Structure 1
């Protein structure tokens, strides 16, 4: 029993560390979307920033000056001009075909190949964001350990029994076989639930 428990906790520890290391970029890298493609920072040279996606070609952003940027997608240049004034965020987006759009608060949608709001998001790192909620991974780990203890350890099951207020209604109450059975079943359910919770992080 001790051997299987040791294997379980060592496995949980290794999986947790591995998940944390492999998931770190997902939760910490700032990204933006063009269509369904996710882009993140790849490098910067002079005034040219490059963003890569695993599902599409690169996007480059050329910073002309503090108020003007050019987003380059598939060799096409989209000009972004910051026309913001105090208390009002506004951008002018000029497409290669000459169409001009005004984007306010990154909500306006266009009918071009790329929505103007998405181009503004690509041009300004302030509108890139981090993905996921890593707190769910910690919650999942706690649930997994709780479920395993409920399933595996009679001492833990007895401890949980003592926490039930219903036992105060009886003199010298003792957990029944049915209680131990439901504890094991509950532990299995909680462990399965911990996997679902872990996926919520992404």
Structure 2
């Protein structure tokens, strides 16, 4: 009777593991498709994602409801933000600074890209430090400072400069840590494997894990699972 009773429990355990791994794969696939692989860009501390594209026009939206409409004109772009229009002229023959950014007020800047960094110059050829000042969570604009930096507008205008949000690799690491912690907490066989792998048995005359070892393994498993949640948030 005991042998027959053990078989259903074993099958039930395998079923739980199968369902768990299936749920994890579905979760990772959904997270990658709907979050980590989604291209985004930032304007004035707001994150924008593509809403739709139609007839050479792309509409991007943020969680606050702000909209950015980008219209293609060959290699050039025209951005409409809060009723204002910004023009970007892509001049391939222009030495060093291929993007000319024109603001609604008539101000013009030149922008170039070096690796993952942009460099912007004003009409006098002076470098523009694109730094922001905040007070009580609100951005403070300095005299003459643009709300939208020239390089940020160039990034918004061209999809090839958009970046995927978050780090999917860190998410996978957090899931692996959670599984490791769960197995450490749940399965005595796994705890024994860790005991032998740690080579602790070398120092004992009777190499068997103690009750205290099993207890600390469960506590360690809980700590690892909680830590994996913290790591998961770091992936966002």
Question: What TM-score do the two structures reach when normalised by structure 2?
Answer: 0.74
Measured in 1, the distance between the counterparts of 2:174 and 2:55 equals 44
Query: Is the contact made by 2:57 and 2:69 (CA closer than 8 Å) also made in structure 1?
Result: yes
For 1:1-202, list aligned pairs within 5 A: 10=19, 13-14=22-23, 17-18=26-27, 20-22=29-31, 24-66=33-75, 68-85=76-93, 88-105=96-113, 106-108=118-120, 109=130, 111-202=145-236
- Relative to structure 1, the CA distance from residue 121 to residue 51 in structure 2 (aligned partners, 3 Å threshold; closer, same or farther) is same
- Equivalent pairs, count: 201
Structure 2 residues not aligned, in runs of 5+: 1-8, 121-129, 131-143
Q: Could you tell me how far 1:86 is from its partner in structure 2?
A: 8.5
Bigger mean CA offset, 12-21 vs 1-10: 1-10
5+ residue gaps, structure 1, are none
CA distance in 2, matches of 1:55, 1:43: 17
Q: Which whole-Å deviations, capped at 9, do the CAs of 1:33-78 have from their partners, x for residues lacking one?
A: 1112111222222222221222132211122222x22111122111
Q: Output the TM-score relative to the length of structure 1.
A: 0.85
Report the 3-state secondary structure (helix = DSSP H, G, I; strand = E; otherwise coil) of the residue aligned with 2:63.
coil
Cα distance in 1 for residues equivalent to 2:19 and 2:55: 48
Structure 2 SS opposite 1:173? coil
Matches of 1:136 and 1:201 in 2, distance apart?
5
CA offsets, 1:60-106, max 9 Å, x none? Answer: 1122222x221111221111111344983531111111111112222
Does the CA contact (< 8 Å) of 2:99 and 2:110 recur in 1? yes
Q: Deviations over 1:6-50 (max 9, x none)?
A: 668746743662464155221111111111211122222222222
Q: Which residue of 1 aligns with 2:123?
A: none
Change (3 A) 1:197 1:57: same
CA contact (8 A) 2:170 2:234 kept: yes
